[in-house]
Amino acid sequence: MAGDEPRAPQSGEPRMTKREAWIGSAAFFLAAPGVVAGLIPWLITHWRPGLDVSVTSTIVGALMIIAGLAALIDCFVRFALKGGTPAPIAPTAELVVDGLYRFVRNPMYLAVLLLIFGQMLVFANAGLLAYGVAVSLGVHFFVLGYEEPKLKRSFPEAYAAYSENVGRWLPRLTPWRDQPPGTLASSSPNTPRK
């Protein structure tokens, strides 16, 4: 029937239903970080501690794993709440710039790296060190070569302001607050908005 064909979402309008966003985000959670930070480290370590494991490295590693998992879940929830997923094939209709994204542009990747390097400490495994370094490099080049150019095309003004104010890998000490259109961005978080 005429008029029943799908239309492109308007700015700010979700690309999928809330249910689809939650299911898609959960599936992508299992498929991407679940494999990269769960299955592959398990294949390397079988989650057995090495001979050189210490109480200190185990505690630090466990804290890194807890922080990484909490950050990762928070990021995935934010995408689902915005009506999309972190997967490139089912993105949100608007740029996600709240939660941990106010501090750093790539908290999801940093969370995955925390999970990998946390496991490296818990299991005292040099193979996970090598794997973590390889994942770090792969993620960095993926962000530079694919993700950032795509975000610049999809959200030209919003991403320009965001990337100018929020670091790719090094977090800000204070949360970034997006300025309404037509106002000048200030480096001071205490400057009132117009």
CATH of span 18-165 = 1.20.120.1630
Does the pLDDT value for residue 181 go beyond 80? Answer: no
* Residue 111 confidence (pLDDT) above 90: yes
Give the residue extent of every domain in the chain: 18-165
Tell me the torsion sign for CA atoms 29, 33, 38, 43. positive
Give the rounded percent of residues in the chain with a pLDDT score beyond 90: 80
What is the model's pLDDT at position 16? 87
Percent helix, strand, coil in the chain, to 5, is: 60, 0, 40
Map tokens 């001071």 to a residue: 188
**pLDDT, mean of residues 101-123:** 98
Band the pLDDT of 184: cuts 50, 70, 90.
very low
Residue (of 146, 105, 139) closest to 32 by Cα position: 139
Question: Among positive and negative, which fits the CA dihedral 18, 21, 24, 27?
Answer: negative
* Averaged pLDDT, 97-117: 97
| Cβ-based burial of 115 (10 A; exposed 0-12, middle 13-18, buried ≥19) | buried
Q: What is the mean pLDDT of residues 88-115?
A: 96
